[in-house]
Amino acid sequence: MDYESRSIRDIISELNRTIYLPAIQREFVWDTEDIEKLFDSIMGDYPISSFLFWKVKEENKHDWVFYEFIRKFDEESPHNEEADLSGVNRDIHLVLDGQQRLMSLNIGLKGTYRYFYYRWKKTSLYLNLLKRPVKSEENPEELVYQFEFRETSETDSLDDEFWYKVSRILDFPDPEDAKSDLNKEIKHLDDKKQDNARKLVGRLHTMIHTFKFINFYEEKSQDYDKVVEVFIRANTGGKKLEYSDILLSTATAKWKHLNAREEFQNFTDAINGIGSGFNFGKDFVLKGCLFLTEDLPIQYKVKNFTKGNLEKIESNWDNIKKHIEDTIKLVYKFGFSDKNITSAVSLLPISFYLLKLNKNNFVDSTDIDDVNNQNVIQKWLVLSLIKNAFGRSSDTKLNKVRNAFVKQGSYSTFPFKGISKELEIEPSFSETEVDKIFGINYKTKYSYLVLSLSYPDRDWKDKKYHEDHIFPKSKFTKAKLKARGYDDEKIEKYREYYNTILNLQLLTESENLEKYSEDFELWINTRDNNFKNRHMIPDIESYDFDYFLDFIDERRNLIKKKLESISI
């Protein structure tokens, strides 16, 4: 990158002429106090941090949508207007870092700020030329100069205030002309106040016209993905800025008939409100847009978010919403929730299938063929989640899955074989995988998912279930086990299994409170056979704590049979 320094006047004169904003920038959020503080820093010769510009070659300037800097800011309509570059026959610069500061300079020096405070006020930036610049030793944060957004220069404090409209400073290339312009207006003041007024105007002129306050780096790469990465790194502020945030801004800029940001937010809220609630983000919805719109690349790359591709997504938006929403309703019916959906992208193949099936009542259908098809979808989802089928390279896997659908051609049944083959997963659990499942611990990534498999006929609607230790967790401390007279080997075995799937179940909130820390032997005798079958509680000689290892052995067999029954 090259590094340059320019005066504020030089940069401001180029805003909306050769300097614009990329669509990936978010909107202006500074209030009047922020702008006043910025001008105070400039007058005090404090650094206002560096800027980052992206130089876009003339031949590339029509590839993307750009926006103008706001000059007349209005809280009622704070949106930037799209830039018309048809008459710009040269390279341009886009601001990657420093938008808020440059917009503030533009508003303060050339524009207005309209806001509501008891009533709507249209204001301009003024400087009180009678305020002596004195730093406060007690409060270093206190502003030295008195900048203020005001409706007029009129004041009742004529002895203490003379409000100079800051935009006037741009009218004079020479500081002496700016001072002379004041003479008629300040001739009624005493010499000391006149001198203060001229000094402040002279200093303001120097800081705006002469001093090179805008220090910026220039990124010259025409690789848009590199530029986005630069933008993300420059704007994180310690908080991760996702690619979806950037790309969604691009979509907002290029959708013709809908406001992409509002549509995404409203739809995300809607699917998260299904059933007992989910926690999907806009990243999931955006990925769904790419996956469910055929002929579009799935990867998050800026070059994939061209105007044409985004128009395809907009025209397909109703289909995307319907089939993602139907998918969430279907998996909720299966007993899935935000607790056991360990990979959101695993749902997208189901959405793609529903789109191709195009059957309005499929989710609630009781037709035998539809029910059988739903069972296949449920088993495939369980397998793909437990086997972590999509892993880290989810884009590659999603591409393969979409190709599997295209190869099948017919959509009467869910193509689990083709998809499983593309994902390189077996449609069943191997001995090794089953052993790994037995080792899953309490309240970890897959615990709720595996436990939920035990209850295929459960009514999940609007109910919350708790992970519960069948034999109470509190009984398994080393001290308590030693007090029972167990040797080290037995203690090790007890502690190996007590916190795993083999000693866990899902209970309703009321059941869990009722059972809380009670000896399992006493509590289980109050349950009927249906409860035992539902929770895979084996029939053994005794449920006394001494028989815990017998319980574990028998329950392992029951869970293994359940996992085998899930295989497609």
SS3 488: helix
Residue 227, pLDDT > 70, answer no
Q: Which of 85-89, 111-115, 212-216, 257-261 has the largest mean confidence? A: 111-115
Among residues 177, 200, 215, which one ends one of the domains? 215
pLDDT over 90, % of the chain: 48
Q: For residues 169 and 177, what is the distance between their CA atoms, to the nearest angstrom? A: 10
- Closest by CA to 494, choosing from 535, 551, 446, 538, is 551
Residue 164, pLDDT > 90, answer yes
- Bigger pLDDT: 208 vs 260: 208
pLDDT in tens, 332-371: 988 888 878 989 999 999 999 999 999 989 999 989 999 9
**pLDDT score of 85:** 85
How is 228-247 classified by DSSP, letter by letter?
A: HHHHHHHH-TTS---HHHHH
Q: Judge if 133 and 43 occupy the same domain.
A: yes
**pLDDT score of 330:** 93
- Bigger pLDDT: 510 vs 2: 510
Q: Judge if 408 and 467 occupy the same domain.
A: no
Q: For residues 97 and 54, what is the distance between their CA atoms, to the nearest angstrom? A: 9
Q: Judge if 421 and 479 occupy the same domain.
A: no
Q: For residues 536 and 559, what is the distance between their CA atoms, to the nearest angstrom? A: 7
Residue 32, pLDDT > 70, answer yes
Q: Judge if 316 and 394 occupy the same domain.
A: yes
Q: What is the mean pLDDT of residues 185-207?
A: 94
Q: Which domain holds residue 543?
A: 458-556
Residue 335: inside a domain, yes or no? Answer: yes
- Closest by CA to 163, choosing from 190, 145, 175, is 145
Q: Judge if 125 and 186 occupy the same domain.
A: yes
Residue 339: inside a domain, yes or no? Answer: yes
Residue 382, pLDDT > 90, answer no
Residue 377: inside a domain, yes or no? Answer: yes
**pLDDT score of 292:** 94
Q: Judge if 400 and 275 occupy the same domain.
A: yes
Give bridge partners of residue 441 from the DSSP assignment: 500
How is 469-483 classified by DSSP, letter by letter?
A: ESS-GGGG-HHHHHH
**pLDDT score of 542:** 93
- Bigger pLDDT: 564 vs 457: 564
Of the candidate ranges 88-92, 173-177, 363-367, 463-467, the one whose mean pLDDT is the lowest: 463-467
Q: Judge if 379 and 418 occupy the same domain.
A: yes
How many structural domains does the chain have? 3
Which residues in 362-508 belong to E strands, given as ranges?
Answer: 465-469, 504-508
Q: For residues 254 and 252, what is the distance between their CA atoms, to the nearest angstrom? A: 6
Residue 185: inside a domain, yes or no? Answer: yes
Q: Judge if 16 and 93 occupy the same domain.
A: yes
Q: What is the mean pLDDT of residues 382-399?
A: 86
Block residue for tokens 């539809």: 370
Residue 158: inside a domain, yes or no? Answer: yes
Q: Judge if 359 and 402 occupy the same domain.
A: yes
Q: Are the C-beta atoms of 108 and 35 separated by less than 8 Å? A: yes
Residue 7, pLDDT > 80, answer yes
**pLDDT score of 1:** 57
Of the candidate ranges 222-236, 270-284, 308-322, 403-417, the one whose mean pLDDT is the lowest: 222-236
- Bigger pLDDT: 247 vs 376: 376
Predicted confidence band of residue 139 (pLDDT cuts 50, 70, 90) = low
Q: What is the mean pLDDT of residues 278-291?
A: 90
- Closest by CA to 97, choosing from 234, 240, 212, 241, is 234
Q: For residues 73 and 78, what is the distance between their CA atoms, to the nearest angstrom? A: 6
Residue 433: inside a domain, yes or no? Answer: no
**pLDDT score of 228:** 66
Dihedral angle at the C-alpha atoms of 290, 291, 292, 295, nearest 10 degrees? 70
Q: For residues 456 and 530, what is the distance between their CA atoms, to the nearest angstrom? A: 14
Residue 516, pLDDT > 60, answer yes
Residue 281: inside a domain, yes or no? Answer: yes
Q: Judge if 246 and 209 occupy the same domain.
A: no
- Bigger pLDDT: 566 vs 174: 174
**pLDDT score of 97:** 85
- Closest by CA to 108, choosing from 154, 69, 135, 61, is 69
pLDDT in tens, 296-322: 888 877 677 777 888 899 999 999 999
Q: Are the C-beta atoms of 150 and 163 separated by less than 8 Å? A: yes
Among residues 427, 442, 466, which one ends one of the domains? 427
Strands 19-22 and 92-97: what pairing? parallel
**pLDDT score of 239:** 45
Give bridge partners of residue 164 from the DSSP assignment: 127
Q: Are the C-beta atoms of 493 and 542 separated by less than 8 Å? A: no
- Closest by CA to 418, choosing from 429, 428, 407, 410, is 407
pLDDT in tens, 403-427: 888 887 778 899 888 898 888 888 8
**pLDDT score of 238:** 41
Q: Tokens standing for 415?
A: 């193509």
Predicted confidence band of residue 31 (pLDDT cuts 50, 70, 90) = very high
Q: For residues 541 and 561, what is the distance between their CA atoms, to the nearest angstrom? A: 21
Residue 52: inside a domain, yes or no? Answer: yes
Convert 293-333 into a string of H (helix), E (strand) and C (coil): CCCCCCCCCHHHCCHHHHHHHHHCHHHHHHHHHHHHHHHHH
Mean pLDDT of the chain: 87
In the chain, the N- to C-terminal Cα span, in Å, equals 56
Q: Judge if 300 and 200 occupy the same domain.
A: no
For residue 291, give Cα distances in angstroms to 270, 345, 350, 399: 20, 10, 11, 8
Residue 200, pLDDT > 60, answer yes
Q: For residues 273 and 104, what is the distance between their CA atoms, to the nearest angstrom? A: 39
Q: Are the C-beta atoms of 529 and 548 separated by less than 8 Å? A: no
Whole-prediction pTM: 0.60
Q: Judge if 123 and 38 occupy the same domain.
A: yes
